């Protein structure tokens, strides 16, 4: 397991502050991202956190065990779709 930052920990377990009140040693542990390229591994790790935040925003529970590669793929597609919508919006404003 890898040590994660506070933002990542709260994205995975929003109830962590309440757990800290009961047990100061409470922590969130995530499986390490096992990708050889450090830049891609970092992007996959961030995508995993964004995926958790999207789940929370949709009112669903988090899934800490989500595959970082799958999260990166999903986030890449979602970002491409958002960029397409933004470009269409810009084009509509210009015309």
Longest Cα–Cα distance in the chain: 59
pLDDT, average across residues 26-42: 89
pLDDT in tens, 75-85: 999 999 999 99
pLDDT in tens, 43-83: 999 999 999 999 999 999 998 889 999 999 999 999 999 99
Could you give the count of Cα atoms lying within 13 Å of 48 in the half-sphere of its Cβ? 24
> Does 7 score more than 90 pLDDT?
no
Residue-wise DSSP of 46-83? HHHHHHHHHHHHTTPPP-TT--HHHHHHHHHHHHHHHH
For the full predicted model, state whether its pTM sits above 0.85. Answer: no
């Amino acid at each position: 397991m890898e040590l994660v930052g506070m933002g990542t920990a709260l994205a995975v377990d929003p109830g962590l502050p309440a757990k800290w009140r009961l047990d100061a040693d409470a922590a969130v542990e995530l499986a390490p991202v096992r990708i050889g390229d450090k830049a891609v591994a970092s992007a996959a790790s961030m995508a995993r956190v964004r995926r958790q935040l999207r789940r929370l925003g949709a009112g669903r529970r988090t899934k800490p065990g989500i595959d970082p590669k799958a999260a990166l793929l999903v986030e890449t597609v979602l970002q491409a779709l958002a960029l397409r919508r933004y470009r269409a919006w810009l084009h509509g404003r210009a015309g």
